[in-house]
């Protein structure tokens, strides 16, 4: 089901690319225009997607998708990353990463409370020290200056 | 003599405290990555790519390559001791290596694996040292048409390295090429596929792609299960192989070095293929093949030599022509691009300090790894006790900080996340990411070279027929592409990734 959906997405992506590439123009006065290579890519993607969609043998025999607790773990990690991407510019790296790491360790890895606290503090401190101090990269800071 | 002189120059570049330190760090991280099953060399390289931003190119690339070949050393340790290969190239070592461990000869197997890796790494590096001047002379004849031919050749060669379904691989190649065209067209300033988003005007950030596909997708796969700890109770003794072991192993070691070097150079080769080919060769050449699988030391020496020599071999097309032969070297190519270095045939001529510095760092790294792996094998094996939940927050934070640090732009995090989720789904459906990554890196050079060639040519596309080297590359590309598509059987989609 998922694979069939993906193959349809490939076909649509290929067709969309072809239309867009045509509008960009294929050939200019000195050679290829902006749309030539995207047009070639679009054709390949659409054709491959169509062949994959139509050939039964192209489908993965028995894909193992996560279920139950596994599924929740995956959703938890993605949600953690999403929340961190949203909160990063507002509360800074230290706070957003500490909250995300702690919540994920508790919810996804099922660590004990003390272990989660220690791991969170050590991980955030290590990354901040390496990137912020040793490598001199500026990490986003919150309204309180860190 | 030129090669030796250049190599000495490389040593003078690498022998600074900072460069040696990062080479050492790379060796340690590489060994750790090889030991731990939760994270492979590709994911580790992707996550640590941003660390090289602020480093000198030699230190950064030296560290990344040390992680690559360090993983080959480390992988053998856990393969032999606990039958858990930390990375794919060490799978074959487990067959006889672990049997030796069960017979109480773990020390000899570990010792031979480390020595074979060191010997092969050194032999292959000597070969690279003496091959490179030839390639440099060849590269001086390159202009835009030759560059176009070469990049086309590189893309076609990618078809040979596709794991699993060729059709899915071709699709990924096209998607990678398409992703590389996103952004402003440098020739006419027109936006391509930016969907009106200003963040996409400069194109998709390579770090977001790499960390998403290899870092985040790996985290998601690993999160499906709670990993268990493994304990190593026994003490390891007798690391120095016996005279009989040496007698049985020296030829497989040499053969493995040649096999590895060759399979490292050819597109689609790399350490995994090399180690399996070497094992098959040793088994075929053995007087008593039935010993294999029951603790034959040749089954450790040959593949271990091969997977290390393959790492050095794979640096030849990367450094001298700018063509990556596998996903790891594609990532290293990405590292060069991030450092603002134009990969390609003129690389050795334009940046001899960097090329020879990295080569010298590989010699030094091999010595570090021998010292790290022989006496400390037992300690590395104990690293298997580190639960994934300890690594998990660090990997997660590294992926976020790494992506963000490129442009200080939150949009890159969304791109990373998108590629991570898509990468996870594609992994489940057995898509190979290597063609995507290689096309993503090579596509801008190919498009630019074609346009430059046509602008400088009064005869239009005929310029490719007027320049022998360019003609050769284009013809070779067409022939190779036809050969791939003539293999109808292999083109049919297959269900599994080897």
Q: pLDDT tens, A82-137?
A: 988 898 888 888 899 899 888 888 877 777 888 889 988 988 888 888 777 777 77
Q: Please tell me the number of Cα atoms within 13 Å of B97 on its side-chain side.
A: 29
- A88: chain B residues, CB-CB within 8 Å: 400, 404, 410, 413
pLDDT at B238: 65
pLDDT, position A48? 93
Tell me, what's the pLDDT at B496? Answer: 36
Mean pLDDT of chain A: 86
Q: State the best of A40, A137, A138 to mutate against chain B, taking most chain B CBs within 10 Å.
A: A137
The residues in A 21-50 lying below 8 A from B, measured between CB atoms, are: 24, 28, 30-35, 37-38, 40-42, 44-45, 48-49
For A67-71, what is the mean pLDDT? Answer: 83
Residues 6 or more apart whose CB falls under 8 angstroms from that of A71 comprise none
Distances (CA, A) of B233 to B238, B240, B379: 16, 21, 11
Q: Which of B121-135, B173-187, B420-434 bottoms out in mean pLDDT, i.e. has the lowest?
A: B121-135
Chain B: give the shortest CA distance to residue A10, in Å: 9
Mutate to test the interface with B, among A21, A47, A57, A60 (most CBs of B within 10 A): A60
Closest by Cβ to B178, choosing from A45, A63, A97:
A45
**Nearest residue on chain B to A108, alpha-carbon basis:** B223
Q: Which residues does chain A have within 8 Å of residue B54's beta carbon, measured at their own beta carbons? A: 135-137
- From B252's Cα to the closest Cα of chain A, the distance in A is 38
Q: Which of B219, B226, B410 sits opposite A88 (nearest CB)?
A: B410
pLDDT of residue A18: 95
pLDDT confidence of residue B207: 82
Residues from chain B that touch A41, judged by Cβ atoms under 8 A, are: 174-175, 177-178, 181
In a mutational test of the B interface, the residue from A32, A43, A45 whose CB has the highest number of chain B CBs within 10 Å is A45
Q: What is the pLDDT of residue B498?
A: 31
Indicate the pLDDT class of residue B174, thresholds 50, 70 and 90: very high
Of A8, A134, A105, A4, the closest CA to residue B52 belongs to: A134
Residues B204-255 have pLDDT tens digits of: 988 888 888 888 888 888 777 655 545 455 566 666 788 888 888 889 999 9
Decide: B453 and B463 in contact? Cβ < 8 Å.
yes
Span B18-33, pLDDT tens digits: 999 999 999 998 888 8
Structure-model confidence comparison of residues B278 and B272, the more confident one? B278
pLDDT at B335: 82
Of B54, B193, B454, the CB nearest to A136: B54
Give yes or no for A16 touching B (CB within 8 A): no
User: In terms of pLDDT, which residue wins out, B41 or B199?
Assistant: B199
Task: Give the percent of chain A with pLDDT over 70.
Answer: 99
Interface size A-B, in CB pairs within 8 Å, comes to 182
- pLDDT for the residue numbered A41: 94
* Angstrom distance (rounded) from CA A27 to CA B246: 64
Amino acid B160: pLDDT: 74
Q: What are phi and psi of B183, to 5 degrees?
A: 120, -170
CB distance B159 to B172 below 8 Å: no
Mean pLDDT of chain B: 82
A140: confidence class by pLDDT, cuts 50, 70, 90 = confident
Among B55, B390, B397, select the one facing A127 at the smallest CB separation.
B397
| Residue A82 CA from chain centroid, whole number | 10
Residue of B nearest to A35 (CA): B192
Residue B418 predicted with pLDDT over 90:
yes
Most confident of A17-21, B75-79, B343-347: A17-21
CA-to-CA separations, B399 to B44, B50, B213, B328, in angstroms, rounded: 10, 9, 11, 17
What pLDDT score does B86 carry? Answer: 64
How does B417-434 read in b/e, with b if 16+ C-beta sit within 10 Å?
bebbbbbbbbbbbbbbbb
For A131, which of B390, B401, B492 is closest by C-beta distance?
A: B401
Per CB-CB distance under 8 Å, the chain A contacts of B188 are 28, 33-34
Residues of A with Cβ-Cβ distance to B458 under 8 angstroms: none
Q: Does A92 touch chain B (CB under 8 A)?
A: no
Tokens of residue B409, six digits = 């732009």
The pLDDT assigned to B414 comes to: 93
The H or E element spanning position B383 is none
Q: Cβ contacts (< 8 Å) between A137 and chain B: which residues? A: 50, 53-54, 401, 405
Chain A residue numbers touching B425 (CB-CB < 8 A): 2, 6
The answer to whether A139 contacts chain B (CB < 8 Å) is yes
pLDDT tens track for B110-127: 888 888 888 888 888 888
Task: Give Dmax over CA atoms of chain A in angstroms.
Answer: 68
CA quadruple B231, B224, B497, A81: dihedral sign: negative
| Range picked from A98-102, B128-132, B228-232, B339-343 for highest mean pLDDT | A98-102
Q: Residue B190 is nearest to which of A34, A100, A138, comparing CB atoms?
A: A34
Please answer yes or no on whether B410 and A108 come within 8 Å at the CB atom: no
In this predicted structure, the answer to whether residue B497 has a pLDDT above a threshold of 70 is: no
Q: Does position B12 have pLDDT exceeding 60, yes or no?
A: yes
CA dihedral B469, B472, B476, B478 (to 10 degrees): 110
A124:B397 CB<8 A: yes
- In total, chain A counts a number of residues equal to 146
Q: Check B450 against A32: CB less than 8 A apart.
A: yes
Q: Is the pLDDT reported for residue B172 higher than 90?
A: yes
CB contact under 8 A, A64 and B424: no
> Which residues in chain B have their CB less than 8 angstroms from residue A100's CB?
396
Decide if A129 touches B, using CB distance below 8 A. no
Provide the pLDDT for residue B227: 55
pLDDT per position as a tens digit, B366-400: 889 888 877 777 777 777 677 777 777 788 888 88
Q: Report the residue of chain B nearest A121, measured CA to CA.
A: B393
pLDDT score for A49: 93
Instruction: Print the SS3 string covering B274-302.
Output: HHHHHHHHHHHHCCCHHHCCCCCCHHHHH
Q: Provide the percentage of residues in chain B whose pLDDT is more than 90.
A: 10
Q: What is the DSSP letter of B161?
A: G
Min Cα distance B323 → chain A (Å) is: 20
Q: Which pLDDT score is estimated for B20?
A: 92
- Nearest CA to CA, how far is A19 from chain B (Å)? 11
In percent, how much of chain B has pLDDT > 70? 90
């Amino acid at each position: 089901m998922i694979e069939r959906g993906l193959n349809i997405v490939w076909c649509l992506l290929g067709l969309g690319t072809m239309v867009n590439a045509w509008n960009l123009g294929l050939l200019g006065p000195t050679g290829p225009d902006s749309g030539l290579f995207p047009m070639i890519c679009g054709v390949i993607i659409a054709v491959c997607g169509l062949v994959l969609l139509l050939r039964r043998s192209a489908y993965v025999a028995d894909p193992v998708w996560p279920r139950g607790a596994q599924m929740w773990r995956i959703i938890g990690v993605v949600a953690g990353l999403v929340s961190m991407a949203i909160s990063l510019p507002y509360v800074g790296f230290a706070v957003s990463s500490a909250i995300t790491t702690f919540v994920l360790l508790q919810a996804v890895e099922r660590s004990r409370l003390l272990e989660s606290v220690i791991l969170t503090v050590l991980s955030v401190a290590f990354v901040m020290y390496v990137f912020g101090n040793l490598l001199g990269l500026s990490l986003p800071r919150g309204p309180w200056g860190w | 003599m030129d090669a030796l002189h250049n190599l000495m120059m490389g040593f003078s570049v690498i022998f600074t405290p900072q460069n040696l330190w990062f080479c050492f760090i790379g060796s340690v991280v590489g060994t750790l990555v090889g030991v731990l099953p939760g994270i492979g060399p590709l994911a580790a390289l992707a996550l640590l790519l941003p660390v090289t931003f602020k480093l000198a190119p030699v230190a950064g690339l030296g560290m990344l390559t040390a992680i690559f070949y360090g993983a080959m050393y480390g992988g053998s340790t856990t393969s032999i001791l606990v039958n858990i290969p930390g990375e794919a190239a060490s799978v074959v070592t487990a067959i006889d290596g672990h049997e030796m461990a069960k017979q109480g000869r773990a020390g000899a197997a570990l010792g031979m694996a480390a020595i074979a890796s060191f010997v092969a790494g050194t032999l292959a590096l000597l070969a690279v040292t003496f091959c490179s001047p030839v390639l440099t002379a060849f590269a001086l004849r390159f202009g835009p048409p030759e560059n176009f031919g070469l990049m086309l050749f590189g893309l076609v060669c990618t078809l040979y390295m596709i794991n699993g379904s060729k059709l899915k691989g071709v699709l990924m190649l096209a998607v990678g090429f398409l992703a590389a065209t996103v952004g402003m067209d440098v020739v006419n300033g027109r936006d391509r596929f930016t969907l009106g988003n200003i963040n996409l005007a400069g194109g998709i950030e390579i770090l977001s792609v790499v960390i998403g596909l290899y870092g985040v997708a790996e985290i998601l796969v690993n999160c499906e299960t709670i990993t268990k700890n493994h304990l190593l109770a026994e003490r390891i003794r007798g690391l120095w192989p016996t005279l009989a072991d040496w007698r049985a192993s020296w030829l497989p070691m040499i053969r493995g070095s040649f096999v590895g070097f060759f399979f490292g150079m050819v597109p689609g080769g790399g350490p995994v293929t090399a180690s399996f080919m070497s094992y098959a060769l040793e088994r075929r050449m053995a007087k008593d093949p039935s010993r294999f699988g029951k603790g034959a030391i040749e089954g450790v020496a040959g593949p271990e030599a091969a997977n290390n020599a393959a790492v050095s071999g794979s640096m030849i097309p990367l450094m001298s022509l700018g063509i990556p032969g596998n996903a790891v070297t594609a990532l290293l190519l990405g590292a060069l691009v991030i450092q603002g270095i134009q990969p390609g045939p003129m690389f050795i001529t334009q940046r001899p300090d960097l090329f020879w510095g990295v080569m010298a760092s590989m010699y030094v790294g091999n010595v570090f790894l021998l010292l790290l792996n022989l006496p400390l094998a037992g300690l590395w094996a104990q690293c298997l006790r580190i639960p994934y939940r300890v690594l998990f927050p660090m990997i997660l934070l590294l992926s976020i900080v790494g992506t963000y640090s490129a442009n200080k732009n939150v949009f890159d995090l969304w791109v990373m996340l998108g590629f991570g989720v898509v990468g996870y789904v594609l992994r489940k459906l057995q898509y190979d990411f290597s063609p995507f990554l290689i096309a993503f890196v090579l596509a801008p050079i190919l498009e630019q070279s074609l346009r430059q060639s046509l602008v400088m040519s009064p005869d239009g596309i005929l310029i490719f027929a007027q320049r022998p080297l360019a003609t050769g590359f284009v013809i070779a590309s067409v022939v190779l592409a036809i050969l791939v598509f003539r293999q109808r059987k292999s083109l049919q989609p297959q269900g599994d990734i080897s």
